[in-house]
Amino acid sequence: PGPAEQVAAVYAGYEELKNRAELLDFDDLLLHTAAALEENRGVAEEFRDRYRCFVVDEYQDVTALQQRVLDAWLGGRDDLTVVGDANQTIYTFAGADPRHLLDFPRRFPEAVVVRLTRDYRSTPQVVSAANTLIGAARGRVAGTRLQLVGQLPPGPDPRFQEYDDEPAEAAAVARAIQRLVDDGTPAAEIAVLFRVNAQSEVYEQALTEAGIPYQVRGGERFFSRPEVRRAMTAVRVAGTGPEGAALPDAVRAVLEPVGLTAEPPGGAAQRAQWESLLALVELAEELVGVEPSADLRRFSAELDARADAAHPPTVQGVTLASLHAAKGLEWDAVYLVGLVDGTLPIQHAEGDDAAIEEERRLLYVGITRARRLLSLSWALSRQPGGSRRRRRSRFLYGLIPDEHPAARVPTGGRTAGGAKPRCRVCGKPLIGATAIKMRRCDDCPSHVDVELLDRLKDWRRSAAKEQQVPAYVVFTDATLTAIAEQRPADTSALVSIPGIGANKLDRYGEAVLALVAEGDDRANLS
């Protein structure tokens, strides 16, 4: 998120340090391999003669540089087999490009395409849930979707559970896991999967209190992560913080030097660290809700207490992992937790249809990790009694059976009774995040109030400048357009627009409704 000149200078310095130390990183190995094959005929002939045939697994995750090495190694031959599933493309932020897989038959016209539709891992019930989820996908990747056919004996239907808050959700998951273990399921055959690593803490605590052994895959326990330890040190050194400053703002200011930027960074490791720091800010918001006078010193004590209580011995047990870290693994029982809009799909994917679809594929990967038992759950707030109300993930539309109690709880864009949201113009079912946000089909006429939209954008510009954040952090263009189209008259109508949760309602709701009312007053006068 830094200025381009600064990023370029950092990369130049990095290259200089590597050259001075005569070291190569992983990308350098690929670049030098490609150059050796492309520029030295003798090297190319030797290696092409030595290695005749190639098999590439997870081909949907190949980057442009990896494809370049493969092309150079093949030369003009087509002795190549690739295996991949475009529906499991979840690493585009790291350079993965599914086009290499999708365009394979075009690049190699003689290729034999074998569609692997038989699923020997999961029960038909789990497979059906996966098919339903990916069946609603959009875009070119979705055009190649496979309808899997489960080959195992039938099992239980997926479970859907809604909870008032995250601790209640975690405690219920821990109790369910305890029952499974008591009934003979090995703890190592159970997994709790979440979108971001920062969600692990509440489950670490719940499993610890229940005496259930667990292991965190793909990273240390939350309070053992380097970025969290650095953040705790920074908070401790800061003392009480600036007088009169709100605790969450003070925490943001303290964490900015250790990596909490206004926008999420690229790259899996950097993004995971950023999300951990953001979780600390959210923890500060929760503490203020309980103790309005809390300062940085009180917050530091709270972090120390939580860290001390979250250090069970390292043993083999239930797996806690992010959805990215779970790729390629499988368990008898899988609990997919924290399925709320803003987390899955992640908040910074809003307004980007391609990013939203990648979030859908991430949930698809999570569902297909389960062999027999699949549980999907969400919580309406982070803490008990929390005023910040959240909506279950939009990806659950169509997954929850109509007769299920959870389907009758109107949440977000879904109507009471579990029906899919429909276009307010033509009445057809809505497909896609943008259409649901606008409450109309993409090709149906827009009735946007242009003057209101201009006033909203002017207000957003001022709010973003005052908070020193990018404009989209306040509201995306799509959200502002939805407001200008629907002209909500009260808070309930405002929060029914996807992208506006309790947090943004508290911060911006009054100003937005005032702007809408101002437009209505002008219309009445005219």
Residue 454 token pair:
């201009």
Give the residue from 334, 45, 289 showing the smallest Cα distance to 194.
334
Say how far apart CA 425 and CA 10 lie, in whole Å: 51
- pLDDT tens for each residue of 161-196: 988 888 889 999 999 999 999 889 998 899 999 998
Condensed to tens digits (0 to 9), the pLDDT of residues 1-44 reads 578 999 999 999 999 999 999 999 988 999 999 999 999 999 99
pLDDT of 284: 86
Beta-carbon contacts of 277 under 8 Å, excluding residues fewer than 6 positions away, are 227, 228, 231, 255, 258, 259, 260
What is the pLDDT averaged over residues 261-283? 76
Q: Which residue has the tokens 């809700």?
A: 289
* DSSP 3-state of 328: coil
Q: Is the model more confident about 390 or about 406? A: 390
Q: 505 or 182: which carries more pLDDT confidence? A: 182
Question: Which pLDDT band, with edges at 50, 70 and 90, does 237 fall under?
Answer: confident
Query: Which of 42-56, 144-158, 199-213 has the highest average model confidence (pLDDT)?
Result: 42-56
pLDDT for 415 equals 38
Partners of 55 in the β-ladder: 81
User: Average pLDDT of 381-386?
Assistant: 74
Mean pLDDT of 299-319: 70
> Nearest CA to 422 among 412, 435, 433?
435
Q: What is the pLDDT of residue 408?
A: 44
Residue 143 has pLDDT above 70, yes or no: no
- Give residue 158's pLDDT: 93
Residues forming beta bridges with residue 194, ordered by sequence position: 322
Nearest-CA neighbor of 426 among 445, 452, 407, 399? 445
Report pLDDT digits (tens) over 54-107: 999 999 999 999 999 999 999 888 899 999 988 888 888 888 888 899 899 999
pTM for the full model?
0.60
Range in 31-40, 113-122, 476-485 the model is least confident about:
476-485
- Reference 150, options 129, 173, 133; nearest CA is 129
Residues 6+ positions from 510 with CB-CB distance below 8 Å: none
HEC states along 165-222? CHHHHHHHHHHHHHHHHHCCCCHHHEEEEECCHHHHHHHHHHHHHCCCCEEECCCCCH
* 272 vs 526, higher pLDDT: 272
Question: What is the rounded average pLDDT of the residues 329-343?
Answer: 93
Residues 379 and 492: beta-carbon distance below 8 Å: no
Residue 182's φ and ψ, nearest 5 degrees, are -65, -30
Among the ranges given (55-64, 146-155, 433-442, 457-466), the one the predictor scored with the smallest mean pLDDT = 433-442
pLDDT at 366: 95
Average confidence (pLDDT) over 402-427:
50
What does the pLDDT read at residue 9?
96
What is the model's pLDDT at position 65?
A: 94
Q: What is the 3-state secondary structure (H, E, C) of 406-446?
A: HHHCCCCCCCCCCCCCECCCCCCECCCHHHHHHCCCCCCCC
For residue 146, is pLDDT > 80? no
Peptide bond preceding 345 in cis form (omega within 30 of 0)? yes
Position 410 scores a pLDDT of: 38
Whole-number mean pLDDT of the chain? Answer: 82
Higher pLDDT: 145 or 251? It is 251
